[in-house]
């Protein structure tokens, strides 16, 4: 079984209906692998908050949709890990936000590849982060 750290840029695509672009399809394939048990997903504990924030602030979802999203996030049962703050600090100093640095820190500490579509993470943490395969 493969194991990845996924960031919010990937997990968010699992909850939008539109989007069959080349960027979205690989992320959705990862969800299929996750649901079939072929992929183990690790993420920092803040992923649920970040996904809810984007759905509310950027997409304008209302209370009912956000409640459903919150329940769906719990149902995913991702392996949530608290990032090491000293490692987060190192990546913040390298130019990432603390939120993005949390994903990189989890991946680095666990020696698990980080999959993201975030261009800043891909640039700053290129030895740890990559785009979704496929």
CA gyration radius, the chain: 14
The 10s digit of each residue's pLDDT in 37-96 is 999 999 999 999 999 999 999 999 999 999 999 999 999 999 999 999 999 999 999 999
Q: Name the pLDDT band for 25 (thresholds 50, 70, 90).
A: confident
Spatial separation of the C-alpha atoms in residues 128 and 53, rounded to whole Å: 25
For domain 2-130, say whether CATH 3.40.50.1000 is its number.
no
Domain spans, the chain: 2-130
Query: In this structure, are residues 69 and 61 in contact, taking their beta carbons and an 8 Å threshold?
Result: yes
Q: What angle do CA 76, 81, 86 make, to 5 degrees?
A: 150
Tokens of 131: 């785009």
Size of the chain, expressed as the number of residues it contains = 134
Q: What is the pLDDT of residue 79?
A: 97
pTM of the model: 0.93
């Amino acid at each position: 079984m493969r194991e990845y750290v996924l960031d919010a840029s990937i997990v968010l695509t699992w909850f939008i209906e539109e989007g069959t672009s080349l960027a979205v399809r690989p992320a959705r394939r990862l969800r299929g692998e996750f649901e079939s048990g072929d992929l183990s997903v690790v993420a920092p504990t803040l992923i649920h908050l970040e996904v809810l924030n984007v759905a509310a602030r950027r997409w304008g979802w209302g209370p009912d949709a956000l409640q459903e999203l919150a329940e769906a996030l719990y149902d995913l049962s991702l392996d949530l890990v608290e990032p090491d703050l000293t490692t987060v600090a190192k990546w913040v100093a390298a130019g990432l936000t603390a939120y993005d640095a949390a994903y990189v820190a989890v991946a680095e500490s666990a020696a698990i590849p980080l999959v993201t579509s975030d261009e800043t993470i891909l640039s700053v943490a290129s030895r740890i982060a990559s785009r979704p395969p496929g």
